[in-house]
């Protein structure tokens, strides 16, 4: 990204919705590598709504940041909206936030063997709070960085849409 608004632009609507509703958010993200959190934090006044963000890319990070163990999710298929919903509720509760956001995905360039094989360009996103929402994003691309940004934008859009219903 070449301009100084590359991070804040996709997050502005979600940040405004959080501020307008006086609510807080905590984020657990995987394939986006911190882009959701960084985008929310790049909007001035983020301390009013942003409580925590964790990149939960590995099993050890999920254990340390969310106190999630393999046994806690063994009943859930990986990279599914149900698993993202579990992560969203876990991060919301862990940080006592009004909203939890979770993103899990396959940025690429290769796929993963879970669930019989998942191609790159797939992300599942969930929002937990007074309302819940989830979505699956498919880019049909193996471009890792492009997918990371697409997944982050989709998560921020879903957050804004879900929190915006509270206005």
Instruction: Give the rounded distance of the alpha carbon of 117 from its chain centre.
Output: 22
Residue 2 lies in a domain: no
Residue 82 lies in a domain: yes
What does residue 102 show for φ and ψ, rounded to 5 degrees?
A: -135, 140
- How many Å apart are CA 77 and CA 142, to the nearest integer? 22
Q: What is the pLDDT along the chain (167 residues), one digit of tens a residue?
A: 444 558 899 999 999 999 999 999 999 999 999 999 999 999 999 999 999 999 999 999 999 999 999 899 999 999 999 999 999 999 999 999 999 999 999 999 999 998 889 999 999 999 999 999 999 999 999 999 999 999 999 999 999 999 998 77
What does residue 35 show for φ and ψ, rounded to 5 degrees?
A: -65, -35
Q: What residue numbers bound the domain in which 63 lies?
A: 8-164
Residue 47 lies in a domain: yes
CATH code assigned at 24: 3.90.950.20
Q: What is the three-class DSSP state of 118?
A: strand
- Beta-carbon contacts of 74 under 8 Å, excluding residues fewer than 6 positions away, are none
Q: How many domains does the chain have?
A: 1
Please tell me the predicted confidence (pLDDT) of residue 2.
45
Query: Whole-prediction pTM value?
Result: 0.95
Residue from 90, 97, 93 nearest 69 by CA: 90
Residue 1 lies in a domain: no
Residue from 40, 37, 45 nearest 91 by CA: 37
Instruction: Give the rounded distance of the alpha carbon of 119 from its chain centre.
Output: 19
Residue 3 lies in a domain: no
- How many Å apart are CA 13 and CA 49, to the nearest integer? 13
- How many Å apart are CA 69 and CA 109, to the nearest integer? 27
- Beta-carbon contacts of 41 under 8 Å, excluding residues fewer than 6 positions away, are 50, 53
DSSP per-residue letters across 1-40: --STTTTHHHHHHHHHHHHHHT--EEEEESTTTTHHHHHH
């Amino acid at each position: 990204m070449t301009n100084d608004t590359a991070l804040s632009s996709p997050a502005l609507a979600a940040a405004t919705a959080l501020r307008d509703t006086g609510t807080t958010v905590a984020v657990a993200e995987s394939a986006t590598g911190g882009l959701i959190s960084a985008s929310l934090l790049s909007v001035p006044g983020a301390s009013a709504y942003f409580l925590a963000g964790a990149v939960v890319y590995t099993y050890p990070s999920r254990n340390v940041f969310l106190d999630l163990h393999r046994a806690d999710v063994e009943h859930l298929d990986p990279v599914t909206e149900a698993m993202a919903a579990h992560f969203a509720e876990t991060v919301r509760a862990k940080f006592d936030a009004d909203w939890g956001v979770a993103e899990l995905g396959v940025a690429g360039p290769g796929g993963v063997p879970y669930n019989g094989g998942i191609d790159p360009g797939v992300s599942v996103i969930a929002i937990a709070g007074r309302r819940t929402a989830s979505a699956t994003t498919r880019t049909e691309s193996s471009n890792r960085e492009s997918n990371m940004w697409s997944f982050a934008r989709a998560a921020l859009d879903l957050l804004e849409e879900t929190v915006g219903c509270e206005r």
